[in-house]
Structure 1
């Protein structure tokens, strides 16, 4: 059995890039939504959470409509020589879109659990909004943000449906581990599929374990106790 390691590197490159994007956008959007009390709050929250409950193929279909060559965005990008469909950036977009709701919802919950009296006290002392966020809100919410990052990483690593819709299965270009598993099993190469399954389980397990140990270390430093 010939072993092609390209799905590993494509998956890791895609997952880390998508997680990096969702990390910053998820924190920013979650903080904005926590402090937004307008009439559209529930509607916006629903839209931001929708990719979490939609079948990934449906999300992939919407991405095709958005970035397809006949769409306004697709036409604009094609004029500057950029084609998203069936390219590596498409795998990143698909993974980021599907992983974003986990980052957003978990981070938003972490922000909502912060004692508002602490934030109000900082503002009363004349601390700027940026310093309130950076020095008060972010450190208090950090364990939740860490959990959100792990969840979004794991979701991005396992993304299949939307990726296949918008990026396809192009060896050495868009073939991630989940896609490699599907086509190996479809072709009857069960040993190859099982090998990929073991690998993706191992990667996910290692990441989650490292994050759990890191969270324990962070909580020990913040609260001076170790969880039992």
Structure 2
């Protein structure tokens, strides 16, 4: 039977705090937060919803709908952050530049940011945007956990093969700075593994295996 963790309990009551179009509109820079990033249409918002057992993030059949930095509270000191999707061709150039400018400002100045979950479509991993995010994280020393989303779109063997290829490249280029797993929102594949990473980042002082209530 899966262990009920403090994170799993908080995810049941996660709630929207606010949206920000630039860094000075973000909530107070205190506590701990984990940001979810990914190229448009990679399945980022679906992953965030699946991991929180809630419909926190807006999903759409039209990529590029997340145009603001959206903050969701787990408790008074812990947050999840849905960053704007990036790279969709039909988004106006000036909006892309706005996102890029303010994403960079958020990622480089936010003291409460303790990790980034980078969502990649397993059929198109390590896009230029993905590599840019990994290079940025490598320079700043922030850990990254990669969700190879939409793993249900491939056979089990093909998905495992893609996982191995991405792991090998990440290890070769970024060492142990980033970790990788398979993930599927509709199949709920990889939820416990992703929760374990979030638990480590958001509850760094909790002893391993602790079932202490938050």
TM tier, smaller = under 0.3
TM-score normalized with structure 2 length: 0.24
TM-score normalized with structure 1 length: 0.23
The structure, 1 or 2, with the larger RCO (C-alpha pairs under 8 Å, 6+ apart) is: 1
Larger radius of gyration: 1
Choose between structure 1 and 2: higher strand proportion.
2
Choose between structure 1 and 2: higher helix proportion.
1
